[in-house]
Structure 1
Amino acid sequence: MSHARDLGDGHRPARPFSVRVAGARRSARRRALAQLAAATPALPALVVCVVVLSGLADGAGMIWLPLLVAGPALAATTNGPRGVFWAGFLTALLGALLGVRDGVPGRELTAVLAALVTVTLASGLSSVLRGRRERVLAAVRSVAETAQHALLKPVPATVGPFQAAVRYSAAAAEARIGGDLYALIPTPHGVRLIVGDVRGKGLPAVGTAALVLGVFREAAHDEPDLLAVVERIERSLARNLGHDDFVTAVVAGYPRDGHLEVVNCGHAPPLLVSASGSISAVEPPLPAPPLGLRALAGHTPGLQTLPFADGDQLLLYTDGVTEARDGGQAFYPLAEGLERHVSQEPARTLDALHDELLAHVGGRLHDDAALLLIRKPAAGPAVASATGHPGPTARPSEVKCCP
Structure 2
Amino acid sequence: MNGEHSAVFTVSDVNSLIRDLFDGAFQPLWVTGEVGNLTIHRSGHVYMTLKDASSQLRAVYFGGAAVCSAMKLREGMKVEAFGKLSVYSPRGEYQLVVRTIRPFGLGDLQLKFEELKKRLSEEGLFDEARKKPVPFLPRRIAVVTSTEGAALHDFLRISLARFPGLHIRIVPAPVQGKAAAPKLAEALRIINRECAADVIVLTRGGGSLEDLWPFNEEVLARAIAESVIPVVSAVGHEIDFTISDFVADLRAPTPSGAAEMIVPEFEALKESVDSFSSRLRTTALLQWEQARTRVENACRSRAFLDLSYQLDELTQRLDRDLTDAEDALERSVERAERSLDRTLAELEAYSPFGVLKRGYAVVTGSGGHVVSSLRDAVPGQEVSVRISDGSFTARVESTGAPE
TM-score range normalised by the length of the shorter chain: under 0.3
Superposition TM-score, scaled by structure 1 size: 0.22
Superposition TM-score, scaled by structure 2 size: 0.22
Q: Identify the structure with bigger relative contact order (alpha carbons < 8 Å, sequence gap 6+).
A: 1
